[in-house]
Amino acid sequence: MDIMALNIYGLSEIMGPGVAMECTEGREGMHVFEDHFLVETINPDTGEVLPPGAMGELVFTTLTKEAFPLIRYRTRDISHIITAPCRCGRTHQRMDRVTGRSDDMLIIRGVNVFPSQIEAVLVGIQGLEPHYQLIVDRVGTLDTLEVQVEVSDAFFSNADEVRVLQKIKKRINKDLKDFLGITAKIKLVEPKSLQRFEGKASRVIDKR
C-alpha cells in the first residue's frame, strides 16, 4: 500500500507514544526527543549508570513536563543508546528497539532469555496463536521451562490433529534450540484457553 511504517516509543507514565521515534531517512533506532527527556541506561541489578551504547535498562527524566514530572523513572525496558550519528543529520540520540523487560529476563540453565525472544520464535511458526505462557521451575538443581502456546482453530480441528500437533511441537523445539539455545517442554493448548492480558503482559510464572 506504499505506507512507510515507523517505530515510536512511549510510556503511559510519561506521555504515551512520542518519547522517541524513528526518522524517515535513517530508520535505524528511534531519536529520543532530548529537548523534553533525558535518557540514561543503567544496570538493572545495581542501578549503576552505564556508558553510552551499553545494553541496559532505560531511565528517563522529564525536562519540561508540568504537574507530573518524573525524575530518573525506571522503565524496566532493556535497550541501548546508538552512539553513531544518524544519516538524517539530527543530533538527538537514538535508542534501539526494546529487546525485553528487566523484570522479565529469565536465566534458564545459565542462558539469558527474554519472553519476547520466545514470542518471536512462536510467531514464526504456522498454526500457532500469539498467546503463550512460560512456566519456569527447578527440578533438583536444573531449571526447567515449559512453553504453553495456543494452536489456531484451523489446526486444532484438523482431521490429522495428533500428527499435525506433533509436527508443530517438534518445530518449536528445534527453533528454540537453534535460535535461543534453550530446551523446553512444549504444551500445545486449545484456542482461547490461556489468560488474556491488557497492556504489558505478564506471561511468565516463575516457581523457583
Q: Which residue ranges make up the site for Zn ion (CB under 5 A)? A: 23, 26, 86, 88, 90
Interior/surface letters 120-136, b for 16+ CB within 10 angstroms, e for the rest: ebbeeeebbbebbbbbb
d(CA 203, CA 133): 5
Least distance between Zn ion and beta carbon 81 (Å): 14
In terms of CB distance, is 88 or 165 closer to Zn ion? 88
CB of 96 to Zn ion, least distance (A): 13
Q: How far apart are CA 193 and CA 173, in angstroms?
A: 21
CB of 70 to Zn ion, least distance (A): 25
Compute the least distance from the CB of residue 39 to Zn ion, in Å.
Answer: 15
Q: Identify each DSSP E strand in the chain by its residue range.
A: 8-11, 16-21, 30-32, 37-42, 56-62, 73-79, 81-82, 94-95, 100-101, 106-108, 111-113, 128-139, 142-151, 185-189, 204-206
- Comparison of 32 and 59: residue with beta carbon closer to Zn ion: 32
Query: Nearer Cβ to Zn ion, position 89 or 199?
Result: 89
Q: From CA 167, how far away is CA 125, in angstroms rounded?
A: 11
Minimum distance of Zn ion from residue 10's CB (angstroms): 18
**Closer Cβ to Zn ion, 6 or 125, answer by number:** 6
| Residue 96 or 146 with smaller CB distance to Zn ion | 96
